[in-house]
Structure 1
Amino acid sequence: MGLREVKRERTRRLIADKAFELFSDHGFGRTTVEQIAAAAEVGPSTLYRYFPTKEALVLEFVDFCLADAVSWFREQPAMELPDGLQAVVERVLEQLETNPDRIRAVFELAEQSGSVSAHLNELIWRFRTDLADELVRRLPGDPRRAEFVAALSAGIAMNIIETVVRVWVDDPTPTDAKVLARQAMRLLRTGHIPLPGQPNLPTA
């Protein structure tokens, strides 16, 4: 990364951090773009170049974590897809765990603001779509069947991430998100989670 890119990333991070401070102190709705720009010591036009909306400021970290995992998966050589999906799930969670306060704040703001919640759902849907596209590229056989299987697989991966993050955010005790994810995947593998059309659950 060159000097210009480093400076841009530093500015981007500063704007996002200052925005979160203001959102936490004054609330999402009461914080203006002008206030965020002033706190970050940049002009409003500069802020908009980095973040076109206030919602993008809230969700910048989540967006990065999801996009990074898909980009990483695209760069990997051929692998067993269950292993690849597990790696994608764990990569997202590893990134999210580096900033638990930011993630908790995102969930709080999403509960307070319909627009933040809607944009969060858009990010989640984009992740599912991008992951499914990469799975289609890697799945053999009939393309239509591959699309169907890929959509189901990507949806399950995202549901694991969402459920684990929700438990992790709500639980005040330290919890390893990756451990929770592996528990979820083990329950799926052993048939201990009721699914539509599934035979009777194992008793052990």
Structure 2
Amino acid sequence: MGLRETKMERTRRFIADTAFDLFVAHGYDGTTIEQIAAAAEVGTRTLYRYYATKEALVVSFVENGLNAAMEAFEAQSDETPLSEALYAVVDSVERTITENPARLLALYEIFGRTTGLRAGLADLCWSWRRRLVQEILRRPDVEDDELFAELTAASTMNVIEVVVQKWTASGGAVEISDITRGVLELLHTRTIPVPALAG
């Protein structure tokens, strides 16, 4: 990434960080694009070059967290067992939440009240899961088993979704590490029923 691209990415992230600080302080509906631009010390037109809508600012927080999780997976060596490489994904999401608890709680409150944003979140998660499938297939210990990669990626995404939903439902009162540990222990110590062919 060149210097210009690095500066643009820094500005993009600063705008998103500033927007979320305002969303937490004043609520999503109580925050305007003009307020975000002023707080980020950029013009409104500049802000729109980075984010076409206020909704895009909200989705960007999830996108950044998922991108960090993907980078954590990609950083694992091919010698790392797949289960451990996948744990790096979950651990990255856990760290994102631990570092930004107020933002995540505000985020889910916003998603809960905005149908269009929920659709955008679903699309983002679907795209990220497809990326994880491709990264899993790249590993030499997986061979070329796309169905295996699809189910593995789906299971990983399900773990993330259950952990995040349980944490937000508690209002952040329960340690997310305890929820993660409980979910993973359950998966490894009990057989979770899956659909089976009749007979």
Tell me whether the two structures share a fold, i.e. TM-score over 0.5.
yes
| Distance in 2 of aligned mates of 1:13 and 1:84 | 27
- Residue by residue over 1:141-195, the C-alpha shift from the partner in whole angstroms, topping out at 9 and shown as x without a partner, is 4x3xx11111111111111111111111121464332332222122112234332
C-alpha separation between the residues in 1 aligned to 2:191 and 2:184? Answer: 10
Aligned to 1:202: none
Q: Which runs of 5+ in 1 are unaligned?
A: 199-204
Per the normalisation by structure 2, the TM-score is: 0.83
Deviation at 1:107, TM superposition (A): 0.5
Paired positions, count: 195
Tell me whether 88-97 or 45-54 shows the greater mean CA deviation: 45-54
Matching residue's letter, 1:147:
E
**2:186 corresponds to which residue?**
187
Report Cα offsets for 1:73-120 as digits up to 9, x if no partner. Answer: 223211211111112111121122210110011101111111211111
Alignment of 1:23-62 (within 5 A): 23-24=23-24, 27-29=27-29, 31-62=31-62
CA contact (8 A) 1:34 1:44 kept: yes
Aligned partner of 2:124: which letter? Answer: L
**In 1, Cα distance between equivalents of 2:164 and 2:51:** 25
Residue 76, structure 1, aligned to residue 97, structure 2: no
- Partner in structure 1 of residue 155 of structure 2: 156
Deviations 1:23-77 (A, max 9, x none): 4566545644333223322112211233233222112222111111112322321
Q: Report the RMSD for the aligned CA atoms in angstroms.
A: 2.7
Partner amino acid, structure 1, of 2:83 = P
| Structure 1 length-normalised TM | 0.81
AA partner of residue 77 (structure 2): P
Does residue 93 of structure 2 align to residue 102 of structure 1? no
